[in-house]
Amino acid sequence: MFDAPRRLWTSMRAILLLCVGVLAACTDRRPLAQDAWVWRRQWTPPLAAAVASAPTGLDRLRVLAVEQEPDDGRVVVVDVDIDALVAAGRPVLATWRVAGSVPPAVEDIAVVVGRLQAWRARGVDVTGVEIDHDCATGRLPIYRERLMAMRARLPRDLRLAITALPTWREDPTALRAVAAVVDEVTVQVHAVQAPRLFDADRAVDDAVAFARAAGRDVGVALPTYAARVRGGPRLRVDVDEVAAVARALREAPGIERIAWFRLGAADDPGAFAHPTLAALVAGAPTVAALDVGLEVAGDGAVDVVLVNRGTAPASVPARVPFPWPAALAEAAPGVVVDGDAFVVDDAIVPAGARRRLGWLRPAAISPSVASQESP
């Protein structure tokens, strides 16, 4: 006698679940294209390895190809690892960095075109040229004229992209004129307000206001690095703040892409490690997980190491106590021994990395402890 009501409830439940699924799909954050800059004049094996194994969620790599000095206009050509770019299997933007505030000369784009044609000949999927230039707002009309002339010299199948400063929106007419002659515009919201490296509270508003002033959808450059102010402290970007801004950008109007600056490598301690960038790209949680590990060092001594098994950089505690009383202890560089603890001054262990604190010879050590090793 209960079959009919049960069938009715089952049908209603199925309809309800379908409606909930449709609603969730409609309200889900829209996916944004994502890039990362490969920013190095001198390529190293660790950088080549990082490029070849770049996070899977990255749609494209922006690779520094040519850099122009501000004083004498000298053009420096970067000798990139072509095999690593091919192994990465991603489309590439060849980036031309033009220092200073004066727009580049039109004829210099021939150097960039020559580089990307050489890359293409060896199998790299180069899709365009990006000009990274902090043009003065007052010179935007000149920049526009030169961009138009450069576009005429580019092969038709190459896109023309530029980076931009938030201050360009102070002259919306000039900004729209510049934005109209290129295929992509990426506004930089980091390293634009000295001495701060990144203002997370303003980043989204600045990006949306810029897109509105430009009259088009834009990309946004977000930082994944630390920098040292000349004569001052090392400034670090907070991973949680960057992640929050990225989430907000996925819901913001006028934003079509996130570009991460920059792709890290094992020999680049200033940039986020691979696990951190991969988590940011995927929109996954970024959490530090710092453990103390022990490794047999020989002659009865044991190395004490910190291992970060998480996806976010981990701050090292000011004091790391010895795991047991020590008869003798010696600290690694940058660490000191204070009584029964290692003392570290403002240190960070990147995600997936380890840091050796020093060694100690226990006053008494059991065979089980002596054989313990960190994986």
Q: Are both 125 and 255 inside the same structural domain?
A: yes
> Can you tell me which residue has the tokens 């010696």?
330
- Please say which residue of 240, 259, 282 terminates a domain: 282
Task: Return the structure tokens found at 308.
Answer: 């970060």
Look at residue 9 and tell me if it is in a domain. no
Cβ atoms within 10 Å of 194's Cβ, excluding its own:
7
- Please say which residue of 247, 282, 317 terminates a domain: 282
Look at residue 332 and tell me if it is in a domain. yes
Q: Are both 299 and 182 inside the same structural domain?
A: no
H helix or E strand, kind and range, residue 64: strand 60-68
Look at residue 66 and tell me if it is in a domain. yes
Q: Are both 59 and 201 inside the same structural domain?
A: yes
- Give how far Cα 122 sits from Cα of 110, 117, 119, 249, 340, Å: 19, 9, 5, 36, 58
H helix or E strand, kind and range, residue 122: none
- State the SS3 of 268-308: CCCECCHHHHHHHHHCCCCCCCEEEEEEEEECCEEEEEEEE
Look at residue 95 and tell me if it is in a domain. yes
Look at residue 313 and tell me if it is in a domain. yes
- Please say which residue of 255, 282, 309 terminates a domain: 282
**For the residues of 222-251, what is the DSSP string, one character each?**
EE-BEEE-TTSPEEE--HHHHHHHHHHHTT
Q: Is residue 225 a contact partner of residue 263, using CB atoms and an 8 Å limit?
A: no
Q: What is the pTM of this model?
A: 0.87
User: pLDDT 10s digit of each residue in the chain, 375 long?
Assistant: 334 433 433 343 333 333 433 333 343 456 899 999 999 999 999 999 999 999 999 999 999 999 998 767 788 999 999 999 999 999 999 999 999 989 999 999 999 999 999 999 999 999 999 999 999 999 999 999 999 999 999 999 999 999 999 999 999 999 999 999 999 999 999 999 877 899 999 999 999 999 999 999 999 999 999 876 556 677 889 999 999 999 999 999 999 999 999 999 999 989 999 999 999 999 999 999 999 999 999 888 999 999 999 999 999 999 999 999 999 999 999 999 999 999 998 889 999 999 999 999 998 655 444 444 444
How many domains does the chain contain in total?
A: 2
Q: Are both 73 and 163 inside the same structural domain?
A: yes
Give pLDDT, residue 226.
Answer: 81
Look at residue 15 and tell me if it is in a domain. no
**Residue range of the domain that includes 318:** 290-370
Q: Are both 161 and 43 inside the same structural domain?
A: yes
> Can you tell me which residue has the tokens 């790599």?
61
Q: Are both 216 and 365 inside the same structural domain?
A: no
Exposed (0-12), middle (13-18) or buried (19+): which is 138, by Cβ within 10 Å?
Answer: exposed
Look at residue 255 and tell me if it is in a domain. yes
> Can you tell me which residue has the tokens 């986020």?
272
